[in-house]
């Protein structure tokens, strides 16, 4: 059953202009509008959790693997929500669904790209915003399909204490690899080793390239076979200097560049990819949605046996969403960052 509250107001963050850098505050306006009415073939979704993703900054600004977020509409965001009203054959009121919605209490959609979440109570709903959602799939397919780690190899991941990074490290451990994370701050590096089971983690904020190289070299005595790229910039150059022959680089993200006013130059030591015969391949998680079942089959038992951990960092309230987004760029989150917009339905 859908929740009984009858909606009247749709609070929302409207994108009014495109950011030039990280000036999100001046580009998003808080507004209240009437709750939209779904027409034939549409559903009304009430947002429960709004996913905070580094790519939100890209969507605000320009076309990428999706068209740019439209101006004067609620900002685009991945939503986990409850169907309140359905005129669509595939959905009914009370279904828990996820898809590309808006930074708003409610969204009307034709259901394209939206899927039902198996909210049968066996897993908390938050799992579907992280390990059993886009985050888990990004880490799983990026690492296994593109990184192809072999037992005994060394896997390094940047933004390691974030949503994707913390999963990548665990997936690599489960394939018998040595796993080293790069993250900002002592608390995060300790958490990676103590809680997430990484073999080592280095703090890139305690110095510059020279210090990071020293620490990473010590943590990777046999060099680096797989580098799961999340950040770009000078960290990438340091990692490239330690790559092994035939290393693989799943190019997942380049967060250090997303808010740059101008396109940034690539790594200055790209010759390392040449001389070490490395393979770098970009990927977008949306290409893997059809293979969700494959992932669920393998990681289900790991979750049940407690071999795979996941952490969601929940910020309260849609009104704070812009501040929440900023946390991704300052390193204020540990694990998957979401905003709680509305209550989970009583079950
Ligand atoms: N290809 C795909 O389909 C796909 C899908 C999802 C995500 N991604 C990408 O994967 C990466 C991680 O995304 P996520 O959702 O898991 O976010 P996240 O890692 O939970 O959060 C971002 C983290 O990046 C680190 N960071 C921010 N600015 C940095 C900088 N200038 N240099 C180094 N580290 C920086 C921060 O951690 P520290 O405290 O360690 O700095 C921050 O916590 C992003 O690049 C994202 O765009 C790609």
Q: Domain containing 179 — which CATH number?
A: 3.40.50.720
Nearest CA-CA partner of 79 in 142, 13, 20, 168: 13
Ligand 1 midpoint to CA 80 (Å): 20
What pLDDT was estimated at residue 347? 73
Rounded to whole angstroms, how far apart are CA atoms 322 and 116?
27
Supply the range of the domain harboring residue 182. 134-286
- Give the domain-ending residue among 269, 286, 303: 286
Q: Is the CB of 256 under 6 A from ligand 1?
A: yes
**pLDDT tens-digit profile of 82-93?**
999 999 999 999
Confirm whether 21 is domain-assigned: yes
The closest-lying atom of ligand 1 relative to the alpha carbon of residue 185 is 39
Confirm whether 195 is domain-assigned: yes
Q: Rounded to 5, what percent of the chain is helix, strand, coil?
A: 30, 30, 40
Report the chain's mean pLDDT, rounded to a whole number: 96
The closest-lying atom of ligand 1 relative to the alpha carbon of residue 254 is 45
Question: Do 264 and 155 share a domain, yes or no?
Answer: yes
In this prediction, residues 265-270 reach a mean pLDDT of 95
Ligand 1 midpoint to CA 338 (Å): 14
Confirm whether 147 is domain-assigned: yes
Question: Do 173 and 52 share a domain, yes or no?
Answer: no
Question: Do 326 and 274 share a domain, yes or no?
Answer: no
Question: Do 148 and 179 share a domain, yes or no?
Answer: yes
33's torsion region: left (phi>0), alpha (psi -120 to 50) or beta? beta
Gyration radius (Cα) of the chain, Å? 20
Rounded to whole angstroms, how far apart are CA atoms 154 and 245?
12
pLDDT at 4 > cutoff 80? no
Question: Do 109 and 139 share a domain, yes or no?
Answer: no
Confirm whether 80 is domain-assigned: yes
Question: Do 147 and 181 share a domain, yes or no?
Answer: yes
Question: Do 125 and 214 share a domain, yes or no?
Answer: no
pLDDT at 6 > cutoff 70? no
Confirm whether 28 is domain-assigned: yes
Question: Do 271 and 150 share a domain, yes or no?
Answer: yes
In this prediction, residues 64-86 reach a mean pLDDT of 98
For tokens 């969601």, the residue is 312
Confirm whether 100 is domain-assigned: yes
Question: Do 149 and 112 share a domain, yes or no?
Answer: no
Rounded to whole angstroms, how far apart are CA atoms 87 and 245?
56
**pLDDT tens-digit profile of 313-341?**
999 999 999 999 999 999 999 999 999 99
Q: Domain containing 106 — which CATH number?
A: 3.90.180.10
**Banded pLDDT at 2 (limits 50, 70, 90):** very low
Rounded to whole angstroms, how far apart are CA atoms 169 and 6?
44
**pLDDT tens-digit profile of 129-148?**
999 999 999 999 999 999 99
What pLDDT was estimated at residue 67? 97
User: For a pLDDT cut of 70, what percent of the chain falls above it?
Assistant: 98
Q: What is the DSSP string of 181-248?
A: EEESSHHHHHHHHHTT--SEEEEGGGS-HHHHHHHHHHH-TT-EEEEEBSS-THHHHHHHTTEEEEEE
Question: Do 102 and 184 share a domain, yes or no?
Answer: no
Confirm whether 138 is domain-assigned: yes
Question: Do 43 and 164 share a domain, yes or no?
Answer: no
Count of domains observed in the chain: 2
What pLDDT was estimated at residue 223? 98
pLDDT at 3 > cutoff 60? no
Question: Do 271 and 166 share a domain, yes or no?
Answer: yes
- Give the domain-ending residue among 286, 302, 326: 286
What pLDDT was estimated at residue 97? 98
Confirm whether 3 is domain-assigned: no
Rounded to whole angstroms, how far apart are CA atoms 14 and 30?
6
Contacts of 272 (CB under 8 A, 6+ apart): 240, 241, 243, 278
- Three-state secondary-structure class, residue 118: coil
pLDDT at 5 > cutoff 90? no
Nearest CA to ligand 1 atom 46: 253
Q: Is the CB of 331 under 6 A from ligand 1?
A: yes
**pLDDT tens-digit profile of 161-209?**
999 999 999 999 999 999 999 999 999 999 999 999 999 999 999 999 9
**Banded pLDDT at 254 (limits 50, 70, 90):** very high
pLDDT at 47 > cutoff 80? yes
**Banded pLDDT at 98 (limits 50, 70, 90):** very high
In this prediction, residues 297-306 reach a mean pLDDT of 96
Q: Is the CB of 283 under 6 A from ligand 1?
A: yes
């Amino acid at each position: 059953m859908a929740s009984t509250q009858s909606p009247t107001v749709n609070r929302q963050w409207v994108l009014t202009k495109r950011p030039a850098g990280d000036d999100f505050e001046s580009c998003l306006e808080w507004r209240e509008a009437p709750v939209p009415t779904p027409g034939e073939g549409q559903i009304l979704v009430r947002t429960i959790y709004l996913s905070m993703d580094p790519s939100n900054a890209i969507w605000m600004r320009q076309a990428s693997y999706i068209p740019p977020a439209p101006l004067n509409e609620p900002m685009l965001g991945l939503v986990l929500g409850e169907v309140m009203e359905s005129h669509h054959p595939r959905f009914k009121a009370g279904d828990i669904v996820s898809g590309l919605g808006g930074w708003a209490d409610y969204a009307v959609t034709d259901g394209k790209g939206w899927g039902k979440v198996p909210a049968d109570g066996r897993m908390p709903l938050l799992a579907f915003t992280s390990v059993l959602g886009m985050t888990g799939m990004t880490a799983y397919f990026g690492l296994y399909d593109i990184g192809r780690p072999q037992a005994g190899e060394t896997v390094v991941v940047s933004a390691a204490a974030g949503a994707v990074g913390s999963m990548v490290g665990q997936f690599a451990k489960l394939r018998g690899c040595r796993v080293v994370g790069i993250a900002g701050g002592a608390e995060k590096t300790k958490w990676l080793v103590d809680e997430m089971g990484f073999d080592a983690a280095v703090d890139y904020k305690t110095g510059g390239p020279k210090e990071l190289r020293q620490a990473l070299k010590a943590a990777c005595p046999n060099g680096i076979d797989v580098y799961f790229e999340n950040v770009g910039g000078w960290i990438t150059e340091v990692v490239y200097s330690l790559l092994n022959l035939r290393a693989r680089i799943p190019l997942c993200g380049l967060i250090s560049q997303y808010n740059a006013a101008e396109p940034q130059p690539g790594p200055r030591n790209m010759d390392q990819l040449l001389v070490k015969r490395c393979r770098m391949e970009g990927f977008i998680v949306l290409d893997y949605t059809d293979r969700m079942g494959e992932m669920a089959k393998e990681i289900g038992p790991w979750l049940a046996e407690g071999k795979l951990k996941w952490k969601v960092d929940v910020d309260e309230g849609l009104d704070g969403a812009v501040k929440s987004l900023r946390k991704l760029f300052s390193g204020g989150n540990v694990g998957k960052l979401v905003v709680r917009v509305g209550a989970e339905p009583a079950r």
